[in-house]
Amino acid sequence: MRERSRVEETIYAMQRAGAGSLQVISDFDMTLTRFAHNGKRVATTHNILDNRLLINEDCTKKMRELLNIYYPIEIDASRSVEEKLPLMVEWWTKVHELLIQQKIRKDLLAQAVRESSTMLRDGYKVFFDGLAEHQVPLLIFSAGVGDVLEEVIRQNHVFHPNVHIISNYMDFDHTGVLRAFKGQLIHTFNKREGALSHAAGLRELQGRPNVLLLGDSLGDLTMADGVSEPQNVLTIGFLNDQVEERKETYINSFDIVLVKDETMDVPNAIFRYIT
């Protein structure tokens, strides 16, 4: 924590206002899902699609090549967001074009999720169930693939009615074959635009000026930009990768930084206190 007293005061203020004034806005990949498990990286929603059921070997190879080029850029502490922006658009656009060429079938997505290495963070059930029980809206704001994300939380039995999702959704033709992606592309560094155009209009989030925000990327900090007249905003950043290079920036940007923490323990403790 950069400023422990600010964190404490924000949590006290949130507790005084109660669950009825709170909304939770969270990133998905590597925030609600684990970064690694037993020393191996856990699949992101895009990487769950890397399954022979859905894509061929050539597509796997091309997607991995793109990941090897663009992921280091995404997390590079020495480059500015302005510099990264066009490169992220390039990455997402190329991957989505590859996926469309593969004629992915909607009816096979659930099986690909079941066969994948994806895992929500330890304590996820307490987190999702607690928010649902107190009717606190959870906005999941993801630059991943919405259809896959939904299936992950459905298979983990936490797709409760208080969950709202903004993400990249697949557009299937009448035979259930992928033909495009819907709406405006969401990547790591344009969540502000999505927040203003989508989140700001969600009725369930109105009148809740206190925000608990969870993310793993600096781009996630803009996810609350659509909240009108925010009062108390507490941001928690999961620092998973390039820890030493990024620690200072993260501490200067998020209120709380969790280093290589694969659990929901801290968000759960804060929520338990607030309610």
Q: Which residues bind Mg ion (CB under 5 A)?
A: 27, 29-31, 216
Q: Which does 74 bind (CB under 5 to 8 A by kind): Mg ion, ligand C5P, none?
A: ligand C5P
Nearest to 220 by CA among 116, 81, 49, 51: 81
Nearest to 211 by CA among 225, 196, 191, 192: 225
Which residues within the stretch 87-106 sit at the binding site for ligand C5P (CB under 6 A)? Answer: 91-92, 95
- Least spacing, CB of residue 49 vs ligand C5P, in Å: 9
- Least spacing, CB of residue 92 vs Mg ion, in Å: 13
Length of the chain, in residues: 275
DSSP class of 105: B
67 binds ligand C5P (CB under 6 A): yes
Q: How far is CA 97 from the centre of its chain?
A: 22
What tokens appear for 214 in the block? 């969870």
Instruction: Determine the Cα–Cα distance for residues 8 and 269; give it in Å rounded to an integer.
Output: 13
From candidates 28, 35, 172, 254, binder to ligand C5P by CB under 6 A = 28
Amino acid identity, position 245? E
Q: Which does 211 bind (CB under 5 to 8 A by kind): ligand C5P, Mg ion, none?
A: none
Beta bridge partners of 256: 236
24 binds ligand C5P (CB under 6 A): no
- Least spacing, CB of residue 13 vs ligand C5P, in Å: 28
Provide the CB-side half-sphere exposure for 151 (13 A, CA).
Answer: 24
From candidates 46, 84, 208, 246, binder to ligand C5P by CB under 6 A = 46
Q: How far is CA 240 from CA 28, 54, 62, 220, 274, in A?
A: 14, 29, 25, 14, 26
The verdict on whether 27 is a catalytic residue reads yes
The verdict on whether 29 is a catalytic residue reads yes
Measured from the CB atom, the residue of 55 and 131 that comes closer to ligand C5P is 55
Measured from the CB atom, the residue of 189 and 271 that comes closer to ligand C5P is 189
Q: Which does 142 bind (CB under 5 to 8 A by kind): Mg ion, ligand C5P, none?
A: ligand C5P
177 binds ligand C5P (CB under 6 A): no
- Ramachandran bin of 239, using left for φ above 0, alpha for ψ from -120 to 50, beta for the remaining angles: beta
Which residues within the stretch 130-169 sit at the binding site for ligand C5P (CB under 6 A)? Answer: 142-144
DSSP class of 259: E
Query: What is the binding site for ligand C5P (CB under 6 A)?
Result: 27-30, 44, 46-47, 67, 71, 74, 91-92, 95, 142-144, 188, 217
Question: Looking at the annotation, which residues are catalytic?
Answer: 27, 29
